[in-house]
Every structure is written in C-alpha cells, then in structure tokens.
Amino acid sequence: SNYLRHAFSEPSRNLPGTFAGAMSNYLRHACVAAVFGQTLFAHGAVDARTAGYVPDDSTRFCLPAAPQAGRMVDSVSEWVDALNGLLERGLADHAARPEWDAERATRGGEVLLALQNRDAMWGRSIVSNSYADGGCITTESAARVREAALADAEARADPSAFAAVASDPLDAGVAAWLIRG
C-alpha cells in the first residue's frame, strides 16, 4: 500500500541512500535489546532458545525446512551488541536493496523480517516469543502446557508449531546466564 511504502521506504531528500519514513526512522533509532544498569530490555521473551542466540545475516523470511544459521554468544553484553549490530546491518542491507529481486526470492533487510517471526526463526525470536498468551504463567499447569507444546514443536519439525510455545519465565538456566551478565 502507499502508506507502507511511505512508512518504510520514502527516499530521504536529506540523506541520499537512506529512507525517511516513520518506521525507517524509528528502526534507525531502535535497539533489539538494551541493558540499563542490571536490567535487560527486549521486546520478547528471553528464554532457553533465545538467550545468547544471534541469527546469521543470511537468515531468510520464510517457512524453513530446518533451523536457519545462527551462532551462540556467551555473555549478555556480547548478545545485546550482536543483536543490535544485526539490526544495523539489516537496515543497511534494506537501504541497498529495498525491493524484491527479479525472482521475488529475496530483498534487503530480510533478516529483520525473519527476526520478528517465530516460524522463520524456528522458535528463536527475541522479538515475538512470549511468556504467555494469557493466564497465569507460573503454575504447574502452565509448565505442563509449555513443555508439551515445545515437545510437540520439536517432534513435528514444523516451524509453524512454535506459535503455540510459550517461554518459561522461571527457567533457572536463563536466570543464571542473565546474572552472569
């Protein structure tokens, strides 16, 4: 639509090679994650699947047949830096290649489209993973539902199955990683 084209891709008269839409401006000033003092801020859930995981720049926005490439980092600060670097590189890639290619197979910044999508990230989206879609998230019943959904998603080898997976807010391994910094 014209609105989306303006929001994301309206060429800037003042900054050649960049875009001036409201969403582009927001993303240029955004962070995927940030640490203030001893507090980590992220849009989605930090869980055993996302903590320390950084998608590869080549990550596609698709329904992959298997998990896409990525790497693990050791510390919270390294992870935050790597995710925000991914955002910067994705925005630069979008500025260089804002339109789909002739085969409509890929476009610049595709990694950022994937980053916000549980399916494309095979359940490892720091942006869209969540602790709950409602209800009390710390009960034994919630834990059983969470564990069953994750087991089902992994057994089916279907990236769409991760939509039913909620993250564990009481994961001791994640808490220890966060405390180590």
pLDDT tens column, 126-143: 998 888 876 778 888 888
Can you name the residues that pair with 71 across neighbouring β-strands?
54
Contacts of residue 164, Cβ cutoff 8 Å, sequence gap at least 6: 149, 152, 153
The per-residue pLDDT for 139 is 85
Contacts of residue 125, Cβ cutoff 8 Å, sequence gap at least 6: 44, 50, 115, 116, 117, 118
Q: What is the mean pLDDT of residues 41-58?
A: 94
The pTM for the full model equals 0.84
Q: In angstroms, what CA-CA distances link 79 with 27, 43, 86, 177? A: 19, 15, 10, 11
pLDDT higher than 90, residue 174:
yes
Which band of pLDDT confidence, cut at 50, 70 and 90, is reported for residue 16? Answer: very low
Longest dimension (CA), the chain: 56
Q: Is 87 exposed, middle or buried (0-12, 13-18, 19+ CB in 10 A)?
A: buried
Q: Is 25 exposed, middle or buried (0-12, 13-18, 19+ CB in 10 A)?
A: middle
The per-residue pLDDT for 3 is 43
Torsion sign across C-alpha atoms 79, 129, 22, 114: positive
* Mean of pLDDT over the chain: 85
The per-residue pLDDT for 2 is 44
pLDDT higher than 70, residue 6:
no
Range 94-98, long-range pairs (CB < 8 A, 24+ positions): 94/19, 95/17, 95/18, 95/19, 96/17, 98/9, 98/19
Quote the distance between the C-alpha of residue 77 and its chain's center. 17
CB neighbours of residue 12 within 10 Å: 14
**Angle subtended by helix axes 172-180 and 76-96, to nearest 10:** 90
Q: Give the type of residue at 158.
A: D
The per-residue pLDDT for 129 is 86
Least confident range of 28-37, 57-66, 79-88: 28-37
